[in-house]
Amino acid sequence: MRRAFAEAGLDLETVRQLLEAVRAGTTGIEEALTRLKSLPFDPLPYATVDTHRALRQGFPEVIFCEGKSPEQVAGIAERLLAGSSRLLATRATPAVYERIRTLAADAVFHEEARAITVRRGDDDGLRAGRVLILTAGTADIPVAEEAAVTADLYGSHVETVHDVGVAGLHRLLAQTERLRGARVLVAVAGMDGVLPSVVGGLTDRPLIAVPTSVGYGASLAGLAALLTMLNSCAAGVAVVNIDNGFGAGVLAHRINTLGA
């Protein structure tokens, strides 16, 4: 019974259909209770897969691939895909991608973002708002792409503008109208990490700052950029961890869809 229900998909629509079936009398209360009891998790020898997360948070559990073998990632992915039309695996390698493709031929490897996605069904017409992601330099693009892939898969309309750091401020000022037209902004920067402060002074949009580990020795693998962003003199700047494009993408999407 537990596996049969998992294969039907553990999302809000599935639970709604189950409750409708109880109301219509086609499913008994005890059967419904048995199915609902199976929701919280699906245990594996090396992981406890959170099959309840899509119900709580609107999106299935995301796989962080670093430290996991391709077989472990594939095992988790198989459980998640049994109950969801979407999958996101971050910090993935080509080896992990090739393994996931054996169970999901429609998986896509976003090489620059180091992410693997599966998207089944057409949701392009359902995308909400606009998230605009900016990078200070070209070297920051991998982290920005992780944020873009994440927010896009979650359901936001995403645009990117690259290499508009403060070393050439006129490049950023040329994007002023796009800054003001977005619902949420994400600014990704390494080195001195100043870009979010400047962007925050140009617009009233919610702004998420992402420090990257790009820079010479005194940048301390992103710590200098992180501290700059935490001490931003611009109001309304939120900061995620170093190189955490995924976290920025999730937060940007949630803010973006609050009014949807």
pLDDT in tens, 141-151: 999 999 999 99
Indicate the pLDDT class of residue 170, thresholds 50, 70 and 90. Answer: very high
pTM of the shown model: 0.84
Contact 165, 202 (CB under 8 A): no
Query: Are 7 and 83 contacting, i.e. CB atoms less than 8 angstroms apart?
Result: yes
What mean pLDDT do residues 173-185 have?
A: 94
- Residues 126-146, mean pLDDT to the nearest whole number: 94
In the structure, what pLDDT confidence band is assigned to residue 184 with cuts at 50, 70 and 90? very high
Domain end: 119, 151, 182, which one? 119
Residue 135 phi/psi, 5° resolution?
-120, 145
Report the distance separating Cα 49 and Cα 254, nearest Å: 23
What average pLDDT is seen over the chain?
88
pLDDT at 47: 79
How far apart, in whole angstroms, are the C-alpha atoms of residue 17 and residue 172?
Answer: 49
Question: Which two structure tokens, joined as six digits, stand for 5?
Answer: 């229900």
Is 196 found in the same domain as 111? no
Averaged over 217-244, what is the pLDDT? 96
For residue 60, give the DSSP letter: P
Angstrom distance (rounded) from CA 259 to CA 177: 21
**Range 43-52 average pLDDT:** 76
Q: What is the CATH number of the domain that holds 182?
A: 3.40.50.1970
Q: Which of 90, 119, 148 is the last residue of a domain?
A: 119
- 140 CB-contact burial (10 Å; exposed 0-12 / middle 13-18 / buried 19+): buried
Whether residue 124 is predicted with pLDDT greater than 80 in this model: the reply is no
Q: Which long-range contacts (CB under 8 A, 24 or more apart) does 15-20 make?
A: 15/55
Q: Measuring CA to CA, which residue among 105, 60, 108 is closest to residue 84? A: 60
Task: Give the end of a domain, one of 65, 86, 119.
Answer: 119
Query: How far, CA to CA in Å, does 154 sit from each of 8, 11, 57, 159?
Result: 20, 14, 11, 14
Q: Which structural domain range is residue 91 located in? A: 2-119
Contact 256, 156 (CB under 8 A): yes
Together in a domain, 69 and 133: no
pLDDT of 87 over the 60 cut: yes
Do 113 and 151 fall within a single domain? no
Q: Give mean pLDDT, residues 161-180.
A: 94
The encoded tokens of residue 215 equal 């820079």
Tell me the C-alpha to C-alpha distance, in Å, between residue 99 and each of 69, 92, 106, 165. 10, 11, 12, 38
Does residue 172 share a domain with residue 65? no
pLDDT the model gives residue 8: 41
Burial level of 162, CB count in 10 A (0-12/13-18/19+)? middle
Do 108 and 134 sit in the same domain of this protein? no
17-21, 115-119, 165-169, 226-230: range with lowest mean pLDDT = 17-21
Confidence at 100, pLDDT banded by 50, 70, 90:
very high
Neighbours of 114 (CB within 10 A): 23
Q: Angle at the Cα of 112 (from 108 to 116), degrees rounded to 5? A: 25
Domain count, the chain: 2
* Contact call for residues 63 and 89 (beta carbons, < 8 A): yes
Q: Provide mean pLDDT across the span 7-27.
A: 74
Dist. CA 60–CA 78, nearest whole Å: 12
